[in-house]
Structure 1
Amino acid sequence: MVEVSGPDGVMMVFRPWTVSGKLRGEDYRRVSSSWTDETNANYCTAVAELVEAIKVAFPARVDTSRIGNCCQTREESVQDYYDQLYETFNKHSGLEEPDDRGDQPGTWECHLRS
């Protein structure tokens, strides 16, 4: 419980957003300057779990209106437009660009070209 000012003076509120006791690896510290050092194993695990929790809590959002509003101007070259569209698409599509693009277009390629 935490004291905060309310409409009628000081009141007590429960703060469920407090991170105290919520983070599993809160006592881990980096031991060595090398990320791959075995002494950093607990720290690396805690960081990986934190990253995964952030990805789950804040999933990628799709904003197709931003992609649809990306238009080529008369003065803009095709390459400049493609670069702008590519950046906007990657930022707002919610899809991850594949590392390897094969002969068959995947979901990312199909959405980018349409």
Structure 2
Amino acid sequence: MLAEIDSHLLLGTGDPAASGVRRTSDGVVARWTLSWPEQREAGAPPLELCAHYGTAFHHPHLRGATVGEWPLNVFTAEQAAAEIPTLRAIVAADLHNLVFRHDYRIVPASR
């Protein structure tokens, strides 16, 4: 998802990063982020996909930098593939929110 955004909307200027799975005081978390020059200059957060499983949760969740919680019930490769539209929706909503909060010109393809 982040590679698609980088290719089509950021015109290859993005800087992807992955945290790997990390333990926190409340469970485990993994983050994938995508930043780019215009976003950083605007002081906006990067696009983010975050998978986390809190110790008090019944199942893991997904979220973006600016959008809330989405359930993540994945136990097989087929179930993971079925979540691709959800991941795209989270990233698209994050990008929409960043444009709304800052300026459409933070997206290179929109200029």
Q: Same fold (TM over 0.5)?
A: no
More strand by share: 2
Q: Report the TM-score range of the alignment, normalised by the length of the smaller protein.
A: under 0.3
TM-score by length of 1: 0.23
TM-score by length of 2: 0.24
